[in-house]
Amino acid sequence: MNVHWMEDIDRQEIQTLENTQESRKKYYDPKATEEPIMEVGELVMLNAKNIRTKRPSMKLSPKQYGPLKVLEKKGTWA
């Protein structure tokens, strides 16, 4: 008796997880963007959000640096 009860609970948990994944996928997919394709030698702009400078105020720092030349590919997003 206890084994059947535990199997029912297990099936319900699996179904709940699958429903949650489908729900999240439905909201995530429309906003997802494809990865940018960058080739060696191409000119790109670098986002300055996480670059530390010696300026007293970030407000006066540039928002982007570049154009910079891509020297080599390290990975798909790098």
Checking phi first, is residue 41 left (phi over 0); if not, alpha (psi -120 to 50) or beta?
left
Q: Which helix (H) or strand (E) holds 57?
A: none
Task: Tell me, yes or no, if the pTM score tops 0.85.
Answer: no
Walk along the chain (78 residues) and give the pLDDT tens digit of each residue.
677 888 999 999 999 999 999 999 999 988 888 877 888 999 999 999 998 888 888 888 899 999 999 999 887 666
**Rounded distance between C-alpha atoms, residue 63 and residue 23, angstroms:** 36
**Rounded distance between C-alpha atoms, residue 18 and residue 6, angstroms:** 18
**Which one-letter amino acid corresponds to residue 17?**
L
**Which one-letter amino acid corresponds to residue 19?**
N
